[in-house]
Amino acid sequence: MLSKKSKYAINALVYLTHRRDSGPVLISEISEQQHIPRKFLEAILLDLKRAGILSSKKGKGGGYYLLKDPAEVNLAEVMRLFDGAIAFLPCVTHKYYERCEECADEEICGIRDVFLTLRNQTVALLKDSTLLQIVNRENEKTASLLKK
C-alpha cells in the first residue's frame, strides 16, 4: 500500500505542476488546498528538494516550485524516495534485493516468478506515469465533464 508520505508527495507535486506557470507556491497554500498537515508537508517538500525535484525561493514571492520538468518526474521515482522498494517480496526488488529465508531455490520458485512479473509491470506503469501525464489526464476529464 502507498504510504501517506508518498501519497501526499504525489498530491503536492501534481498541485505544483498545475501551478507551475504561477511561480513559487507557499507551503500554506499547498497544505490548505491539498488537505495535507503543514508540518508533515514541510518535511516532504524538503525531501523532494534534496532529491532535486523541487526548489524553493525565500522571502516575498517565495515558496516551492518544480525544478525538474513535469514530463521527467514519474511516480516510481517519488514512491521509491519515500517508500523504498516497489515490490511485495524482497527477492524481486531491484535496488533493495534480499534473499527470502524460506526459499530453497530462487531459480525455480514459482512464487517469485509471479511477484517478479507483478513488480516489473507495476514499475513500468509507474515509470510511464509522469506528473505531466497526470495533469493532462485531469485536464481532459475536466474538459469532458464541462462538455456534458
Domain residue spans of the chain? 4-66, 76-129
pTM of the model: 0.88
Per residue, the 3-state secondary structure of the chain, as one string, reads: CCCHHHHHHHHHHHHHHHCHHHCCECHHHHHHHHCCCHHHHHHHHHHHHHCCCEEEECCCCCEEEECCCHHHCEHHHHHHHHHCCCCCCHHHCCCCCCCCCCCCCHHHCHHHHHHHHHHHHHHHHHHHCEHHHHHHHHHHHHHHHHHC
Tens digits of per-residue pLDDT, 15-44?
999 999 999 999 999 999 999 999 999 999
Residue 81: what pLDDT?
96
Which numeric CATH code is attached to 4-66? 1.10.10.10
Tens digits of per-residue pLDDT, 63-121?
999 999 999 999 999 999 999 999 988 888 877 788 888 888 888 889 999 999 999 99
Q: 102 or 137, which is more confident?
A: 137
